[in-house]
Amino acid sequence: MRCYFVFFLLASVVPILAQHASNDVCPNRCNTDRTLSDRECDHPVTRSLCAVEECEDNGYSCSMPGNSFMISNNQLSLLEFVIEYTWSPEQRDLDTSTRFLDGNVGFSCSSANDYLDFGGDNTSKGGTEVAVIDVEKARQDGKWEDSTAIISNAGWFASDNQGGAQMKVYLRRKSDGGLAEEASVSDRINPGTQRTCSPHNVATVKIIRGSLHTRVTLEKA
Ligand X SMILES: *[C@@H]1O[C@H](CO)[C@@H](O)[C@H](O)[C@H]1NC(C)=O
Told to check if 74 binds ligand X by CB under 6 A, we report no
Q: Which of 74, 77, 111, 124 binds ligand X (CB under 6 A)?
A: 124
User: What's the number of CA atoms in the CB half-sphere (13 Å) around residue 78?
Assistant: 12
Which among 113, 100, 123, 91 has a CA at the least distance from the CA of 169? 100
Binding flags for ligand X, 140-169, as an x/- string (CB under 6 A): ------------------------------
Report the residue number, 122 or 153, with the smaller CB distance to ligand X. Answer: 122
Smallest distance from the beta carbon of 122 to ligand X, in angstroms? 4
**# residues near ligand X by CB under 6 A:** 6
Tell me the window of 89-97, 116-124, 151-159, 184-192 that interacts with ligand X (CB under 6 A). 116-124
User: Which helix H or strand E contains 61, and what residues bound it?
Assistant: strand 60-63
Residue 8, C-beta contacts closer than 8 angstroms, at least 6 positions apart: none
Report the residue number, 34 or 92, with the smaller CB distance to ligand X. Answer: 92
Q: Count CB neighbours of 216 within 10 A.
A: 22
Which among 82, 99, 66 has a CA at the least distance from the CA of 173? 82
CA–CA distances in Å: residue 166 to residues 71, 120, 160, 198, 218: 23, 17, 18, 16, 12
Report the residue number, 120 or 178, with the smaller CB distance to ligand X. Answer: 120
Told to check if 120 binds ligand X by CB under 6 A, we report yes
Told to check if 72 binds ligand X by CB under 6 A, we report no
Smallest distance from the beta carbon of 130 to ligand X, in angstroms? 9
Report the residue number, 66 or 126, with the smaller CB distance to ligand X. Answer: 126
Q: Count CB neighbours of 57 within 10 A.
A: 7
Q: Which of 27, 103, 127, 155 binds ligand X (CB under 6 A)?
A: 127
Residue 179 near residue 215 (C-beta atoms within 8 A): no
Q: What are the percentages of helix, strand and coil residues in the chain, rounded to 5?
A: 20, 45, 35
- In sign, the C-alpha dihedral spanning 133, 168, 62, 18 is negative
Told to check if 108 binds ligand X by CB under 6 A, we report no
Which among 74, 85, 81, 119 has a CA at the least distance from the CA of 100? 81
Told to check if 96 binds ligand X by CB under 6 A, we report no
Smallest distance from the beta carbon of 128 to ligand X, in angstroms? 3
Told to check if 204 binds ligand X by CB under 6 A, we report no
User: What's the number of CA atoms in the CB half-sphere (13 Å) around residue 221?
Assistant: 17
Told to check if 106 binds ligand X by CB under 6 A, we report no
Smallest distance from the beta carbon of 117 to ligand X, in angstroms? 14
Q: Which residues bind ligand X (CB under 6 A)?
A: 120, 122, 124, 126-128
